[in-house]
Amino acid sequence: MDLTPRHRLPYPLPGPWPACAQALLNRGAAWLHTGGTGDGLLALPGGPVLTSRWGGAAWVTDLNGQTRPGTPWEALESALLEHPGPWIGAASFELACDEAVLPRQALPLDTPGQHWQGLWQALHIREGKAELWSWEDTPPDPSACAPLFKADAVLAPVPLVLLPRWNEAHHRAAVEAIRERILEGGFYVANLCVPFDSVFHGDPVGLAFQAFLKARPPFGALLELGDLRLLSLSMERLLSRRGDRLWSQPIKGSAPLTGDTVLDRAAAEALAADPKERAEHTMIVDLVRNDLGRVAQTGTVAVSQAMTVEPYPTVQHLVSTVEAQARPRLGLADLFRAVLPGGSVTGAPKHAVCAHLAQTEAAPRGFYCGALGWIAPNGDLDLTLPIRTAQIAGETLTYWAGGGITRRSDAAREWAELHLKTRAIMG
């Protein structure tokens, strides 16, 4: 994580980490989590807030309550120039579809599309030790954090009961419909997603602590987005930029991870050799190469790592790395329009697949499968694809799971894969 603060000071934590973060998180702090012990960045409350909401005919973007001109991506790009620090937040799948001129489901009025908080100060945590980071002109005053930061007991999480919004027969029919479209030549691969619902009476912070410890996500997050809490356990890098270097790490292909060394090694070997998984993965890598190629210098797009099996606590995935050099003076809005929504959560070709999914899936995805992470004023950024992500509004929790459908897909296996992917958040 490279956010380059202007000032950094050691900060004595008032209690054991991560439990002592609860007070901050309950006051609106944003947590970008990078390890099982809670390493990462905890953005302190305050700073400018940029939001976009669906106005019925177009997205309406506000910065601290003042309407901003332009499209949501253009408004975000201009806001970056007005604040000295980075921004943390998320954008929805549907907003990304609109910016890329892709079909998507109809949205209720006032649906949130993006929410970004400009950072003034943050706590950077590594191996239980903290530094106070600041992007202000003057060094931070550690005593100013004391009223916000205190050791609180973490409430015990309430076990979740997740129920898919449609049954296996419905999913089988949806898979077969996609396979028919593929056989007819309509598209090559489509990522079909299903929402799982739960009544949630617990504490989102307690749920996050439990889930982070179990899933150890490299791109985890707990964000407060207005009246919505977003808990992401993602392991997929959507897009990173450092100067003119761009890279993405699409994931396609899944197998269980049991903890039994012999069984897991056999599962990894089978995953790496599976014709369906390899074909699906190859198509998505080609789509990501094409997306980056739209904004890259000619001849610079390359696959630097192909189909590596990477283990996570509950699942193994096939992962590749696609890199490119950005064309000169590439702006944020143009970059986002080329890459978002991510190829691994749409399919190929994007327009045809998104048109089909808009008529097929049970609901709009919201922030699931959009983009989440940080963006610096100089254009550097780290964005994850918010897969393995719960959206919590009041006592309603929605957690989506999905999978890529190809002509080789087996509907029963696809249904089982959805449930495998819910294990990351289950107690």
Domain co-membership, 271 together with 401: yes
Per-residue pLDDT of the chain (427 residues), as tens digits, is 568 899 999 988 877 777 777 778 877 889 998 766 667 899 988 899 999 999 999 999 999 999 999 999 999 999 999 988 999 999 999 999 999 999 999 999 999 999 999 999 998 988 878 899 999 888 888 877 777 766 555 566 678 899 999 999 999 999 999 999 999 999 999 999 999 999 998 888 888 888 888 888 889 999 999 889 999 999 999 999 999 999 999 998 888 888 889 999 998 999 999 988 898 899 999 999 999 999 999 999 999 999 999 888 778 899 999 999 999 999 999 999 999 999 999 999 999 999 999 999 999 999 999 999 999 999 999 999 999 999 999 999 999 999 999 999 999 999 999 998 998 888 6
Residue 388 CB coordination number (10 Å):
28
DSSP annotation of 326 reads: B
Which domain CATH number covers 314? 3.60.120.10
Cis? peptide before 341, omega within 30° of 0: yes
Domain co-membership, 97 together with 172: no
Annotated active-site residue 252? The verdict is yes
Could you give the number of structural domains in the chain? 2
What is the structure's pLDDT at 252? 86
Domain co-membership, 321 together with 406: yes
Domain co-membership, 291 together with 340: yes
Residue 273 lies in a domain: yes
Residue 75 lies in a domain: yes
Q: Looking at 77, 224, 236, 280, which residue is catalytic?
A: 236
What is the structure's pLDDT at 250? 94
Residue 154 lies in a domain: no
Nearest to 426 by CA among 230, 181, 157, 218: 157
What is the structure's pLDDT at 205? 87
Rounded distance, CA 237 to CA 321, Å? Answer: 9
DSSP annotation of 10 reads: E
What is the structure's pLDDT at 14? 78
Domain co-membership, 240 together with 383: yes
Domain co-membership, 103 together with 174: no
Domain co-membership, 195 together with 72: no
| Structural domain span for residue 289 | 163-200+236-370+377-424
Domain co-membership, 109 together with 189: no
Contact status, residue 222 vs residue 33, Cβ threshold 8 Å? yes
Residue 323 lies in a domain: yes
Q: Looking at 252, 280, 323, 421, which residue is catalytic?
A: 252
What is the structure's pLDDT at 300? 98
Domain co-membership, 18 together with 83: yes
Q: Is 73 left (phi over 0), alpha (psi -120 to 50) or beta?
A: alpha
Rounded distance, CA 29 to CA 359, Å? Answer: 37
What is the structure's pLDDT at 333? 97
Residue 229 lies in a domain: no
Annotated active-site residue 214? The verdict is no
What is the structure's pLDDT at 409? 92
pTM: 0.94
Q: Is 195 helix (H, G, I), strand (E, B) or coil?
A: strand
Domain co-membership, 24 together with 137: yes
Rounded distance, CA 16 to CA 176, Å? Answer: 51
Residue 285 lies in a domain: yes
